[in-house]
């Protein structure tokens, strides 16, 4: 039997609970010190997973930057984009790393392996089986809110890292948790970092206290 990959979530949040600005505008919440941690985390996994909106809003490269790494074993960028809304010139299609797009659509994108799937085959449980078949043993889910909530609600997240940076984002930004979500009992560990705090959450308890609320998001 193929076992599913280990799933890690990493997300950065402002002091007032936002992960993006107004209309999903990108805000750099992580400090330079935290970015070093993120690059190392990326370099430790086989695949980095993001949703279509994250590519559209943030245009991330999802690189490991200067972390020393065997170039043959760079992580694969996995874009979840059922309706193929991402721009064809997005940074994830720069050809510097293997890139897969899971979609229902039939178009091609240069420098991407198109994984055409039916709607039910795009559910997390199914995706994880596929990831295992590609040899992915560890994956990092970087966002955004919808994709993170899909993975948490599937019960497949093993580690959940929440970096809280010392910045505030305007009040109509994108919240990760509703204001009345109590995450006190889901905290596993808190680590002080330069210009922020790294919190490790228990993904299974988080599923109970948070996911019911984001289901209709």
Neighbour-count burial of 62, counting CB atoms closer than 10 A to its CB (0-12 exposed, 13-18 middle, 19+ buried): buried
* 68/156 with CB nearer ligand NAP: 156
Q: Which of 17, 41, 43, 57 binds ligand NAP (CB under 6 A)?
A: 57
Task: Measure Cα distances from 149 to 40, 91, 157, 210, 212 in Å.
Answer: 24, 24, 10, 9, 10
- Give percent helix, percent strand, percent coil of the chain, each to the nearest 5: 30, 25, 45
Q: Does 54 bind ligand NAP (CB under 6 A)?
A: yes
* 51/196 with CB nearer ligand NAP: 51
Count of residues near ligand NAP by CB under 6 A: 29
- Cα–Cα distance between 131 and 48 in angstroms, integer? 11
| Per-residue contact flags (x/-) with ligand NAP for residues 2 to 41, judged by CB under 6 A | ---------xx------xx---x-x--x------------
Which residues bind to ligand NAP, rule: CB under 6 A? Answer: 11-12, 19-20, 24, 26, 29, 50-54, 57-58, 80-83, 85, 102, 122, 142-147, 150, 174
């Amino acid at each position: 039997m193929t076992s599913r990959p280990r799933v890690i979530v990493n997300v950065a949040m402002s002091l007032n609970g936002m992960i993006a600005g107004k209309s999903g505008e990108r805000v750099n919440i992580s400090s330079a010190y935290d970015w070093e941690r993120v690059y190392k985390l990326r370099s430790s996994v086989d695949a980095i997973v993001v949703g279509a909106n994250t590519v559209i809003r943030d245009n991330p490269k999802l690189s490991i930057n200067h972390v020393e790494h065997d170039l043959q074993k760079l992580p694969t960028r996995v874009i979840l984009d059922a309706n193929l809304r991402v721009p064809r010139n997005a940074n994830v299609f720069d050809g510097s790393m293997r890139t897969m797009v899971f979609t229902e659509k039939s178009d091609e994108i240069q420098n991407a392996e198109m994984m055409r799937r039916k709607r039910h085959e795009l559910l997390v449980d199914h995706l994880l089986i596929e990831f295992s078949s590609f040899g992915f043993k560890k994956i990092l889910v970087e966002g955004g809110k919808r994709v993170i909530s899909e993975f948490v609600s599937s019960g497949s997240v093993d580690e959940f890292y929440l970096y809280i940076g010392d910045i505030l984002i305007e009040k109509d930004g994108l919240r990760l948790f509703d204001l009345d979500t109590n995450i006190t009992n889901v905290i596993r560990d808190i680590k002080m970092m330069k210009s922020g705090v790294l919190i490790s959450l228990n993904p299974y308890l988080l599923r109970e206290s948070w996911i019911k609320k984001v289901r209709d998001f």
